[in-house]
Structure 1
């Protein structure tokens, strides 16, 4: 590995151990075995490096429930059974990805002190929405429309964030995939009766 990769791996370890706000450039240098000048040379700034490290961590979590990385879903795309199967798979990843989700929430609740970082992360959110739509619908991300991503993607991202809050706060009382699916069924049934 070169300095660029060493820095990224060191930054990921620092994020998981210390979080975004408490990680210093010196922490990253110590963890990566590089030097301070390498951060600026390869990433432009410590914050840009930490954003890249965070995105890499999130992508790693996503790979745990992504068919592109060998996860197989057996239920038909777009069905309630697929809805439940995907959420069950996502929930199974929570114990091993807890530190990454905690980091996500640390970043979400920062104010304008991190405006540039928040901007970069907001751009990454769109990719996350697109990936979620693909998981549930079976449609490759490249074939999704803007409307798919901006409607269904936002719906799934909202569910994902709410579900993660519950699982991080109190796993014993958190919503299960079965409960989420039954709630969806009831909402769809009620909407059908009232239309």
Structure 2
């Protein structure tokens, strides 16, 4: 690997161990066996590198979302249920919530970025830009199809809905796992929401 890949791998290990705020550029250099100048050359800044490292860590969770085994490539999972069904919804969020239950879950890093965003503006801005692509990746898991076929409009609507749901779950599971919703409660809530919705024309007329 070159310095760029070494830095990214080193930054991922530092993030998992220390979090955003406590990771220094020198920590990353020591972990990656590179040098300080390489950070600026390849990533522009330490915070930009840390943001990309976090995105890479999240992307590595993809197989777990699909129900694939550890180390399996994306696309080999087998989510039950028809695309767009409540069964598929339950399976997807059950897998995602499973990653939040794990000791040392990386999702605590997401909460750190949310809480300390004003102190780490470059991290915040990079992760904010990454949200559309995160939603684009969740849409096919729920609805079927390929990520590359998800339009920007769908990424900004259904994808944004999924990211918002996930962000709320991360917050609740980090705040109080004992009361955070599991997939059963989440799916029942979705079922009730669908059941109580009225057709658009009736809503407009009321």
| 1:146 alignment partner in structure 2 | 152
| 1:123-134 paired onto structure 2 within 5 Å | 123-134=129-140
CA positional deviation for 1:24: 0.7
Residues 61 and 97 in structure 1, CA contact (< 8 A), matched pair in contact too: no
- Closer, same or farther in 2 for the Cα pair 1:123/1:136, shift >3 Å? same
Higher percent of residues as helix = 1
Mark the runs of 5 or more structure 1 residues left unpaired by the alignment. Answer: none
Within the alignment, does 1:15 sit opposite 2:15 as a pair? Answer: yes
4+ residue runs over 6 A deviation: none
Distance 1:118 1:138, change over 3 A: same
Q: Is 1:31 matched with 2:38?
A: no
Structure 2 residues not aligned, in runs of 5+: 69-73
Give the alignment's TM-score, normalised by structure 2: 0.85
Partner of 1:91: 97
Contact 1:98–1:168, Cα closer than 8 Å, also in 2: no
Deviations 1:105-141 (A, max 9, x none): 1111224343232221111111011111111111212
2: distance between equivalents of 1:107 and 1:8? 18
How has the CA–CA distance of structure 1 residues 149 and 97 changed in structure 2, closer, same or farther, with 3 Å as cutoff?
Answer: farther
Alignment pair present for 1:108 and 2:114: yes
Quote the residue 1:46 is aligned against.
46
* C-alpha RMSD of matched pairs (Å): 2.0
Deviations 1:2-45 (A, max 9, x none): 32222111111111111111111111111112221222222222
- Partner residue of 1:176 out of 160, 176, 182: 182
